[in-house]
Chains A and B, each alone.
Chain A
Amino acid sequence: MKNRITDLRAERGWTQLSLAQKAGVSRQTINAIETGKFDPSLPLAFRLAKLFGRRIEEIFLDET
């Protein structure tokens, strides 16, 4: 699933590690989500959306 996490994170000057710590996951998880290798669960997607102050559909893009 495509997402805008890399852009949103860069806008805020956050590193993958700092975002991971805010979201309560590992840096590897953030990297895997950003590269599209791993789709987050709904609770994690909501946490990320809350951290960026956006709605889920503004961050994760439906490819179907």
Chain B
Amino acid sequence: MSALNELKATARLAIWTLAWAATLALAKFGPRHVWDPPQQAATWAAIAVNVAVGVGWIVAFTRFLRALDELQRKIMQDALAAALGVGWVLWFAYVVADQADLAAAEVDVAVLPVVVGVVFVVALAVGKIRYR
């Protein structure tokens, strides 16, 4: 796969990521700041648009992975595996601790994607340095 194709796939992924983040923000803050007072139909429409754009993001990410060369794909897959694994393990450990009344504090579910994102970025950087 050429560098040009890789660049195009990266640009498409960036556009889809921004679109997904924008529609997520609209679905989250729309009921309070855009269509105030809250209207269920408008909120459902915003959520539907967010899910539809999310599907587009998944397709763009798959095409992005295919456009990478084999080493870049390996680095990306290793980072994804680390992020998924850490998120999965930590979340279930928390769920078990919470059910046993051992968890000292309530953890917001929004913390999970942040943890996964941070682990992914760190693992990606480690992979890039490792194969530099």
Chain A residues engaging chain B, CB cutoff 8 angstroms:
21, 24-26, 28-29, 31-32, 37-38, 40-41, 44
Instruction: List residues of chain B with CB within 8 A of the CB of A44.
Output: 70
Give the B interface residue count (CB, 8 A): 12
Q: A28-B72, A28-B132 are in contact. List 5 more A-B contacts (CB 8 A).
A: A24-B69, A26-B71, A37-B130, A38-B74, A40-B70
Do A24 and B1 have beta carbons less than 8 Å apart? yes
Whether B69 and A38, one on each chain, are in contact in the complex, defined by CB atoms closer than 8 angstroms, is: no
**Which residues of chain B are near A40, meaning CB under 8 Å?**
70
Residues of chain A within 8 A of B74, CB atoms compared: 38
Chain B stretch 17-34: residues in CB contact (< 8 A) with chain A = none
**B70 near A41 (CB under 8 angstroms)?**
yes
Let me know if A38 and B2 touch, CB within 8 A.
no
CA distance in complex: A32, B70 (Å)? 11
Residue of B nearest to A30 (CB): B71
Measured between beta carbons, the chain B residues less than 8 angstroms from A29 are 69-72
With A24-B1, A24-B2 in contact, do A37 and B70 touch (Cβ < 8 Å)? no
Q: Is B131 a contact of A32 with CB atoms below 8 Å?
A: yes
In the complex, per-residue mask of B64-101: 1 if CB is within 8 Å of any chain A CB, else 0: 00000111101000000000000000000000000000
Q: Which residues of B contact A28 (CB under 8 A)?
A: 71-72, 128, 131-132
Complex Cα gap A32–B72 (Å)? 11
Chain B residues 34-86 with CB under 8 Å of chain A are 69-72, 74
A37 touches B2 (CB 8 A): no
Nearest chain B CB to A18 CB, angstrom units: 13
